[in-house]
Structure 1
Amino acid sequence: MIKFYFKKMIMLVILSLLFLVGCNDQKVSNEDKVVKVGIMLSDVGLGDQSFSDMAFTGLERARDEMGIEFNYMELNGDSSYEQGLTKLVEEKPDLVIGLGFAMQEDLEKVAKAHPDQSFLFIDGVSELENIHSITFKEDEGAYLVGVLASFTSKTNTYGFIGGMDVPVIERFRQGFEHGIKRMKPDANLLVDYTNDFGNQKKGEEIAVKMMNEGADMIFPAAGLSGLGAIHATAKHDNVFSFGVDTDQFFFAENTVISSMLKKVDIAIYQAVKELNDNGKLLEKHKVLGIKENGVGLAPIRNTQITPTIESEIEKAKQDIINGTVTIKSE
């Protein structure tokens, strides 16, 4: 009887140890799981010195700090967003990111075909259950650019160059115009569109036309096309420009006064961190403005920064954060 009881106890101990080892192995396995991300870049792709480059920077930071893995696709020749997104899904990542409003139709088509795949849409909103979204209050950042431009213009004529006449670009224009007219209600704003985010020559041509019409402050929100506009202002005395998305001072150091920062890199990094920490994205739609540190101003150069300028920019910022100022769509 004692012998039988002793054998039974040994068996229970062995089974308990096996159970604990199995649990421990499972715990190690979960902790060691590497988050995988795929991203479909916007139309111009890497080298746009703006949107795609910033998104890539955010993923590189996530890789270096969290050990995630990521792959990316670009439009190439006859390829489409749908083809690129589908290839990323086939790699079975934890998250597929679609960068830019232009791919909404293709993104939703792929998401419907793969309901178990999680997607993140940057610069657009989808009602599909498996697509999360991040959008930005570009009008708030552009509002600060407009306030700053109003202090530095000598002609009181300003130029805005958009990549396309679409809602996201219109938010840039509306914010810029409202910021200028906060300080200079009688200002003259010239507006034109390149209808292409990758045509530097077109951006330059429009900037030259605006300068000939008296504009001495030009703000392009047109991707790579906008760099053409910035380079055009660099060739003329007493004409200045503003960058967009990232700090573009270093592309024309004699002309860029500041840049409207659209912090896509931080937004993507934070989204991947959320996924890494929680196993999923927690919010269906995030909207990032000044208050959320999603948009802002780069350092100010090429103009004298007076206490008045500093005070007015800070006041404009606080008015937006407090809700005293709201930028209404036209």
Structure 2
Amino acid sequence: MKKRYIFGIISTLAVCSLALTGCTNRSKQATESASQVNQNFKTPTAVTVLGSIDDKSFNQSAWEGLQQWGQSKNITKGVGGFNYAAATQDSDLTSQINNLIKNKYQMIFGVGYRLSKSIGDAAKQNPNTNFAIVDDVISDQSNVASLTFKDEQAAYLAGVSAALSTKTNKIGFIGGVQGEVLGKFEKGYRAGAQSVNPDISIDVKYAGSFSRADLGKSMATAMYNTGADVIYQLAGETGTGVFSVAKDSAKSGNKVWVIGADRDQTDEGQYSGGNVTLTSSIKNLSSVIKDVADKNANGEFPGGKHTIYGLNEDGVDLVKGQLSDDTWAKVDQAKKDIMSGKITI
């Protein structure tokens, strides 16, 4: 099994020291200025336990957000800039987070609901450190920002796309670990597909893992062999197996589709003869990471608050991908209806 990762950003304290330069008779003013910069320029850190930072999905989106944030602040990867550290198992999380705190990280992002307990415990023990939990809610701590998404909205659009694109009237859904978050995706996907065709057949399976490409491959093979021609995968590295099967099928003359998740997965569907990625539901985690990191740096950290990102907040979306113009027009109308409240999921 691949190692899981903890990754983060380290602020460049050397930047702060520039405020100390100047004439001797202005040293007090420079010192105060540097102190203010240090106070506001918090250190964001992201932590993930499901797969690697190059999983082509959820974790990669978070890492890209951190990289973009660092670049916007003119800091680079490495000591004095931003970086990541590795954790091999869930039991290492508490010690890893504690090490980050000891090393003067002033903000820690917990990327994924699996970090809730570790983040919650660390926040109680370290009230002067800011934390953010993604995909879960920690409601009783003023130094924790809870960040969740209206995943069902993007999944609804994915369901509409699948139902309008299938030729067999049978579509599939492959998830990683069954739970509340993926449950929203599943229900949204069902609702969207059934809004187009109430009699559509939807095969739903969970792998029980986000890091088993071999399992994703076997599950996708079974679905495609039993008639499904569109599969929505929400399984991290397990989902790479779905793309593998779809590409092999297309190469043999049986064109099937995959709907990507969390980020635009068009590249994952590319093969010598074309592309099997129909579309992708987007979870703008990278933008959210940057937004919260900026608020933290500006002294506006949303501690104690639960922020929900949906279509209206540019938190989720669907890309056109290889959808036909007619299908895309219908998807766009569904999107407008969700945003206006005409469709409630």
Q: What band does the TM-score fall into relative to the shorter chain? A: 0.7 to 0.9
| Cα distance in 2 between the residues matched to 1:139 and 1:199 | 24
Q: 1:36 touches 1:93 (CA, 8 Å); kept in 2?
A: yes
Moved more, 133-142 or 246-255: 246-255
Question: What secondary structure sits across from 1:80 in the alignment?
Answer: helix
| Cα distance in 1 between the residues matched to 2:328 and 2:155 | 16
| Cα distance in 2 between the residues matched to 1:294 and 1:214 | 33
Query: Aligned residue for 1:149?
Result: 162
Question: What secondary structure sits across from 2:294 in the alignment?
Answer: helix
Query: Aligned residue for 2:146?
Result: 133
Q: 1:260 aligns with which of 237, 257, 281?
A: 281
What amino acid does structure 2 have at the position aligned with 1:156? N
| Cα distance in 2 between the residues matched to 1:313 and 1:36 | 40
Query: Aligned residue for 1:53?
Result: 60
What amino acid does structure 2 have at the position aligned with 1:220? Q
Q: 2:255 aligns with which of 203, 227, 238?
A: 238
Query: Aligned residue for 1:116?
Result: 128
Counterparts in 2 of 1:46-85, with a 5 A limit?
Answer: 46-67=53-74, 69-76=81-88, 80-85=92-97
**Long gaps (5+) in structure 1:** 1-16
Distance change in 2, residues 1:278/1:140 (3 Å): same
What amino acid does structure 2 have at the position aligned with 1:230? F
Note if 1:86 corresponds to 2:98: yes
Q: 1:140 touches 1:175 (CA, 8 Å); kept in 2?
A: yes
Give the drift of 1:32: 6.3
Note if 1:290 corresponds to 2:328: no
Q: Deviations over 1:121-165 (max 9, x none)?
A: 011110222211111111101111111111110011010011111
Question: What secondary structure sits across from 1:126 in the alignment?
Answer: coil
Query: Aligned residue for 1:312?
Result: 330
Moved more, 65-74 or 208-217: 65-74
Distance change in 2, residues 1:114/1:217 (3 Å): same
Q: Deviations over 1:33-68 (max 9, x none)?
A: 643122212321222111111111111111111246
| Cα distance in 2 between the residues matched to 1:147 and 1:131 | 36
Q: 2:295 touches 2:301 (CA, 8 Å); kept in 1?
A: yes
Identity of aligned residues (%): 28
| Cα distance in 2 between the residues matched to 1:245 and 1:78 | 23
Give the drift of 1:242: 0.7
RMSD across aligned positions (CA): 2.1
Moved more, 23-32 or 188-197: 23-32
Question: What secondary structure sits across from 1:74 in the alignment?
Answer: strand
Query: Aligned residue for 1:40?
Result: 47
Q: 2:130 touches 2:303 (CA, 8 Å); kept in 1?
A: no
Query: Aligned residue for 1:199?
Result: 212
What amino acid does structure 2 have at the position aligned with 1:248? Q
Q: 2:171 aligns with which of 158, 168, 171?
A: 158
What amino acid does structure 1 have at the position aligned with 2:122? V
Q: 2:142 touches 2:303 (CA, 8 Å); kept in 1?
A: no
Query: Aligned residue for 1:177?
Result: 190
Give the drift of 1:31: 3.6
What amino acid does structure 1 have at the position aligned with 2:311? I
Distance change in 2, residues 1:295/1:281 (3 Å): same
Q: Deviations over 1:152-208 (max 9, x none)?
A: 100110100111110100111111111111111110100000000000010111111
Give the drift of 1:94: 2.2
Q: 1:96 touches 1:119 (CA, 8 Å); kept in 2?
A: yes
Give the drift of 1:221: 0.6
Moved more, 64-73 or 81-90: 64-73
TM-score scaled by length of structure 1: 0.87
Give the drift of 1:24: 4.8
Distance change in 2, residues 1:318/1:77 (3 Å): closer
Q: 1:81 touches 1:107 (CA, 8 Å); kept in 2?
A: no
Question: What secondary structure sits across from 1:133 in the alignment?
Answer: strand
Aligned residues: 308
Query: Aligned residue for 2:290?
Result: 269
**Long gaps (5+) in structure 2:** 1-22, 76-80
Query: Aligned residue for 1:27?
Result: 33
TM-score scaled by length of structure 2: 0.84
Moved more, 34-43 or 176-185: 34-43
| Cα distance in 2 between the residues matched to 1:322 and 1:144 | 15
| Cα distance in 1 between the residues matched to 2:168 and 2:202 | 11
Question: What secondary structure sits across from 1:292 in the alignment?
Answer: coil
Give the drift of 1:85: 1.3
Q: 1:244 touches 1:259 (CA, 8 Å); kept in 2?
A: yes
| Cα distance in 1 between the residues matched to 2:300 and 2:258 | 43
Q: 2:143 touches 2:304 (CA, 8 Å); kept in 1?
A: no
| Cα distance in 1 between the residues matched to 2:185 and 2:122 | 30
